Chains A and B, each alone.
Chain A
Amino acid sequence: MALANADSSPEHVPRPRRLRLDLTTPILLGLPLAWLAAFFLVPIAIVAAYSFDVYSLNPGPHGFTLTAWHDFLHSSVYLRLFWKSVKLSLTVSAIIVLLAYPLAYYLALSGTKRKYILLLLLIAPFLTSYLLRVLAWKVILGNQGAVNTFLFWTGLRSPDHPLSQLLYSRFAVMLVLGYIWLPFVALPIFVSLESLDRRLLEAASDLGASRLQAFRRVTLPLSLPGVVAAFLFVFIPTLGEFVTPSLVGGASGYLYGNQIVDLFSTGFPDWEIGSVLSIFLLGVVAILTVVFARFLQPGEVTVD
């Protein structure tokens, strides 16, 4: 690498003249910012342009118009689908935050010596393949899957009447999304509980508070930022989710994200309305991110 060798020649050898390369701010920031501008900001701008018909898949005359946006805001189909996704994501996020809280509480405050090993045990599945974890549930939940055939085998259920709602249902989507995100959610809650000053709890106890009172008045409020962060860390990515619903959701688990994909990939693509749906989703996520930014700060990264 020429850049890395720029300084390595011994001092007494006369150096050939070369451009002085040093790590000035523009050199440091130029490439990362250019990359994100070209492959992140510009692409989004292009989607926006498609949503206004400035760009179009169809040949022929086209120009700036709000038709697609108007259609979107007045269509019951797309908005209802969006609302369905919002409700599903909210439910999943709420349930797994409730489940993860006691887990994080146990790790952070029970005084167990093995807490980091246990934390690793909890987090490890999240760091393995996403698709393969979905695949596991497909194998488990199908009509001829592990759960049903186990029930047939043990005689708990007749093979003529499998539990057919297990796979290809809204339930399946929620179960799998919950399964996938649960380990991850415990992390921010754990961090906020871990940084809790235990002397506050001792003080509460000395002043006569019961454990429940101490939890309600001290622990819970102080861990709330972690809870909000955990909630958003699940809610934001699951809102546009399309992979899990397309694998285990069937017709009733069809979500907003699937609609977007279909508008770009089926036999009759409609990039204009598809772009509207994309920009709308992006806008909602951007607003959420900005409103809750202080909970989402990955603390040490935002300097100043």
Chain B
Amino acid sequence: MDVALSKNGARLLRAFFALVVVFLYAPILILLIFSFNNSEVPSFPLSGFTFHWYHEFLANSELRGALETSAIIAALSSAGAVVLGLLAAMALTRRRFRGKAAVSALLLSPLVIPYVVFGISLLLLFHTIGVPRSVLTVVIGHIVISVPYTLLVLVPRLNQIDISLEEAAFDLGASRLRTFRSITLPLILPAVVSAFLIAFTTSFDEYAVASFVVGTRATFPIYLYSALRFPSQLPQVIAVAVVVLVLSLAVVVAAEVGRRIAERRFASLEPSG
């Protein structure tokens, strides 16, 4: 007898699980259908197949500009967040110092701040010190938001790798920097990459904070939000939505598969136990 679930219970839960998955993916599927629908208004009955909306968004330079701006901001802010996260993670896992609990609490606290409050705080900061809003001010905000995510990925990995390898290098006369470069970094590289990807997607999709500190160059979410108010733009926005959603789902799956492969490789490299 299975102690956790009866046969019927398992069947029931499986059906419920399937139902929820349908609920989660149905809206995305509906967008997919309407993105090919030959009508200005996304509504039933469907009125024919077209690639028109995809052509239209590809020709929309404003939209392409917004995607480009978001890509730049995401690249800069995730690079910044990974550097800061790596520094802090090294300190948290490899150093003894007073107030460690407080430091880690501070570094993680952007996880729980309401983004509306953080956005306003940055707005008032830049207003008070007289810095005009621009791509850079968004990057600054996104780095703050992303640092905790990089820590959540990097710290467990740093705790996991065998510290005696680093000690050996250090004992053989390598400086700490050298040890980090030749021993630690290669071992945690997959985690660094996934930290970068998480920070990148966080920034690319971020609307709330960006809406307060964005300059004249709209980011992709900012563009989307304003496009939602114009019904004439809706069909091509739906087409973009489908492209972005499908791409991000593909990246998620690829990242997971990559992580599994990397883990298997490490498992074969490291002594078990």
Q: Which residues of A contact B (CB under 8 A)?
A: 3-4, 6-7, 21-25, 27-29, 31-33, 35-36, 39-44, 46-47, 50, 55, 99, 102-103, 105-107, 109-111, 118, 120-122, 124-125, 127-133, 135-140, 144-146, 148-150, 152-153, 179, 182-183, 198, 201-202, 204-205, 211, 214, 219, 236-237, 239-243, 247, 257, 260-261, 264, 271, 274-275, 278-279, 281-282, 285-286, 289, 296, 298, 300-304
Residues of B within 8 A of A21 (CB): 177
Compute how far the CA of A260 lies from the CA of B84 in the bound complex, rounded to whole angstroms. 31
Q: Which of A124, A130, A241 contacts B252 (CB 8 A)?
A: A124
A25 in contact with B20 given A110-B10, A131-B225, A149-B44 (CB within 8 Å): no
Q: Which of B5, B41, B91 has the most CB of A within 10 A?
A: B91
Compute how far the CA of A282 lies from the CA of B4 in the bound complex, rounded to whole angstroms. 41
A145 near B43 with CB under 8 A, answer: yes
A35 in contact with B115 given A211-B5, A303-B104 (CB within 8 Å): no
A205 near B1 with CB under 8 A, answer: yes
C-beta contact mask, B92-114 vs A, less than 8 Å → 1, else 0?
A: 11010100110111111110111
Question: Would you list the 6 A-B pairs with minimal beta carbon distance, nearest first?
Answer: A240-B114, A43-B121, A136-B27, A149-B43, A28-B91, A109-B4
B87 near A32 with CB under 8 A, answer: yes
Q: Which of A22, A110, A146 contacts B13 (CB 8 A)?
A: A110
Compute how far the CA of A7 lies from the CA of B118 in the bound complex, rounded to whole angstroms. 40
Interface of B: prevailing SS: helix
Residues of A within 8 A of B125 (CB): 39, 42-43, 46
Interface of A: prevailing SS: helix
Closest to B114 in A: A240
Q: Which residues of B contact A (CB under 8 A)?
A: 1-6, 9-10, 13-14, 16-17, 20-21, 23-25, 27-28, 30-31, 34, 41-45, 83-85, 87-88, 90-93, 95, 97, 100-101, 103-110, 112-118, 120-125, 128, 140-141, 143-144, 147, 151-152, 155-156, 159, 175-178, 180-181, 201, 205, 207-208, 212, 221, 224-225, 228, 234, 237-238, 241, 244-245, 248-249, 252-253, 256
For the A-B complex, the count of residue pairs with Cβ-Cβ distances under 8 Å equals 286
Residues of A within 8 A of B205 (CB): 129-131
Compute how far the CA of A167 lies from the CA of B159 in the bound complex, rounded to whole angstroms. 48
B103 near A33 with CB under 8 A, answer: yes
Compute how far the CA of A145 lies from the CA of B34 in the bound complex, rounded to whole angstroms. 11
CB distance from B6 to the nearest CB of A (A): 6
Q: Which of A33, A43, A239 contacts B124 (CB 8 A)?
A: A43
B207 near A257 with CB under 8 A, answer: no
Residues of A within 8 A of B43 (CB): 144-146, 148-149
